[in-house]
Structure 1
């Protein structure tokens, strides 16, 4: 019995001692409190909530972050002090706040002025469709923290004011419009009398800017313009020599000096469309020409002079057997002779040439002339034969050149 009590006492004593030793060790370790760095984690576009700020942080303390103006997060951003370091337990971040899809407005569309998405700070601009104009002062909206700024703009239909024309101008194209003309509407104009002509556009169109595409026309009396006189004078006019010149009015002109030459018609008439039948003539002293030019194989029909006036002509004759090509006349024009005459040479076929080729002409056996553009006619001498099968016995004369056949 005493032995059993002794064993129980020893077991209890060892247990108490072990517990004391253990508590003493644990007490010493826990006396060093676990802390996290005083330099707090930084996140983009976010800051620590003031309620989370402390002078020191121990195991399990939390930091709550709030996003800056214009930014938001999908969940709370929380850092926890764990084993002497800050740990982000949600992996959330601050991103630009998004705005809802911009509202459409009638007869317009919008474009992003900056950025690529509808997020905080980005601006859209509304643009009216063709034929419409902005009816409000502000046409942009910016994505703010609370949503889109400004009210929705409005686009109004473009219209032009009625064309204000003079009383003698007829306007066609009013149709159903009385006080305004819509974009793209066209009106036409005409004069109320055949004695008047329309000066300006015959048709105008209402443009996208609310203006007509050109100035409005007027109607004026049909007259021909008075032109400048250059070394000419009006010697007669029917009904008179002074303007206004109305349709059928006729003017006759004369050079101011007899030594001058008139270029143009001496009489012109005002037409019904307000234009002259021909421009006003002019007069000038034109350069004289010297002796006519020499042309090969051609002679003048009259003895040449030392000087010829502007407009004078001379005539040539081609030599015997030569063929004329072009006009036989030459004209003096402002000091220069002009002609296109050519005298083309005949082909001379000598007797010795025919004997050499053992041929003779069917016309005669002596020397002959073949005109330019004509064919000669040859045969082989008696007892001779063509040199080859394709020998041409009717060769063509071309400006003095002819290819004679050959016999053997």
Structure 2
């Protein structure tokens, strides 16, 4: 800065001070030449220009050694985060830093994918988010039900898998047999009784989602054919209708039997 006393100015002259690039006025000052030939104040001083210290980004920090004109600052992120933007900024005249401040974004692990017969819960796939896995009814989870996105951008384990639930071999009474060797969810077995006995209920049992068989207590009862129906103009002879029991048919006088005169109760009832 040059002092106004080094120059000649008329009364009422207004002067304004400015600093060279890289310097700022310590205080804004304007001086006026007064009637007595003096100025209404003293000349200000120019000090090195400085930028305000920039704030640290979330999940990161800024390395500041100097904030004067031309100085540089460097941005760094915490582990598990990546810098988006320029890592270096410079202090310019006007107390401004170059470019916009960068931000720290969480690292991306990628979509680990769905699993068969199950569902995945979690959609960000970034550090430190987790994904939870569940199986649909009738299936059980093999492996960990949760995996986490790590700071290195990798998942901390393999995703699990869903396997069909097992009901185990069915427990049936000694007089009941079953056919089938698959005991997992939705598989079927066929139940049977010994000859001369009939199964009470359905002959097929299904492995259910709760791990039980749909026919838990199958029962065999002796085959019984029931009383046969009467025939017009004739009669049925016999009062036993169990397995191997025999009934006979006779016609009234004046009628002839058309068909076998004897019927036997069979094992299928």
Q: Structure 1 residues 165 and 214, CA, compared in 2 at 3 Å: closer, same or farther?
A: closer
Q: Structure 1 residues 109 and 67, CA, compared in 2 at 3 Å: closer, same or farther?
A: farther
Match of 1:165 in 2: 172
Match of 1:183 in 2: 185
What aligned pairs does 1:92-241 form with structure 2 within 5 A after superposition?
92-103=102-113, 107-108=116-117, 110-113=119-122, 116-128=123-135, 132-136=139-143, 138-146=144-152, 147-171=154-178, 173-174=179-180, 177=181, 180-194=182-196, 196-199=197-200, 201-220=202-221
Match of 1:291 in 2: none
Q: Give yes or no for contact 1:64–1:77 (8 Å, CA) kept in 2.
A: yes
Deviations 1:210-253 (A, max 9, x none): 43234131335689xxxxxxxxxxxxxxxxxxxxxxx89xxxxx
Instruction: Give the match's secondary structure for 1:141.
Output: strand
Q: Give yes or no for contact 1:201–1:216 (8 Å, CA) kept in 2.
A: no
Which protein has greater RCO, CA pairs closer than 8 Å, 6+ apart? 2
Which consecutive unaligned segments of at least 5 residues does structure 1 have?
1-24, 224-246, 249-268, 273-408
The answer to which structure has the higher helix fraction is 1
Distance (whole Å) between structure 2 residues aligned to residue 220 and residue 134 of structure 1: 41
Distance (whole Å) between structure 1 residues aligned to residue 117 and residue 89 of structure 2: 48
Q: For residue 197 of structure 1, report the CA deviation from its aligned partner.
A: 5.0
Q: Give yes or no for contact 2:64–2:74 (8 Å, CA) kept in 1.
A: no
Match of 1:89 in 2: 99
Q: For residue 101 of structure 1, report the CA deviation from its aligned partner.
A: 2.4
Q: Structure 1 residues 120 and 151, CA, compared in 2 at 3 Å: closer, same or farther?
A: same
Distance (whole Å) between structure 1 residues aligned to residue 119 and residue 189 of structure 2: 33
Q: Does 1:65 align with 2:72?
A: no
Which consecutive unaligned segments of at least 5 residues does structure 2 have?
1-18, 24-44, 228-238, 243-269
Match of 2:48 in 1: 33
Distance (whole Å) between structure 1 residues aligned to residue 79 and residue 50 of structure 2: 32
Distance (whole Å) between structure 1 residues aligned to residue 118 and residue 93 of structure 2: 57
Q: For residue 181 of structure 1, report the CA deviation from its aligned partner.
A: 2.5
Q: For residue 59 of structure 1, report the CA deviation from its aligned partner.
A: 0.8
Distance (whole Å) between structure 1 residues aligned to residue 204 and residue 175 of structure 2: 16
TM normalised by structure 2 equals 0.55
Count how many residue pairs are aligned between Structure 1 and Structure 2: 190
Distance (whole Å) between structure 1 residues aligned to residue 124 and residue 169 of structure 2: 45
Distance (whole Å) between structure 1 residues aligned to residue 184 and residue 167 of structure 2: 6
Q: Give yes or no for contact 1:41–1:86 (8 Å, CA) kept in 2.
A: no
Match of 2:61 in 1: 47
Q: For residue 208 of structure 1, report the CA deviation from its aligned partner.
A: 3.7
Instruction: Give the match's secondary structure for 2:190.
Output: strand
What aligned pairs does 1:328-339 form with structure 2 within 5 A after superposition?
none
Distance (whole Å) between structure 2 residues aligned to residue 43 and residue 166 of structure 1: 73
TM normalised by structure 1 equals 0.39
Distance (whole Å) between structure 2 residues aligned to residue 204 and residue 108 of structure 1: 23
Q: Structure 1 residues 90 and 143, CA, compared in 2 at 3 Å: closer, same or farther?
A: same
Q: Structure 1 residues 198 and 270, CA, compared in 2 at 3 Å: closer, same or farther?
A: farther
Instruction: Give the match's secondary structure for 1:95.
Output: strand
Q: For residue 123 of structure 1, report the CA deviation from its aligned partner.
A: 2.2
Distance (whole Å) between structure 2 residues aligned to residue 85 and residue 93 of structure 1: 21
Deviations 1:270-289 (A, max 9, x none): 986xxxxxxxxxxxxxxxxx
Distance (whole Å) between structure 1 residues aligned to residue 148 and residue 240 of structure 2: 68
Q: For residue 91 of structure 1, report the CA deviation from its aligned partner.
A: 4.9
Q: Structure 1 residues 32 and 88, CA, compared in 2 at 3 Å: closer, same or farther?
A: closer
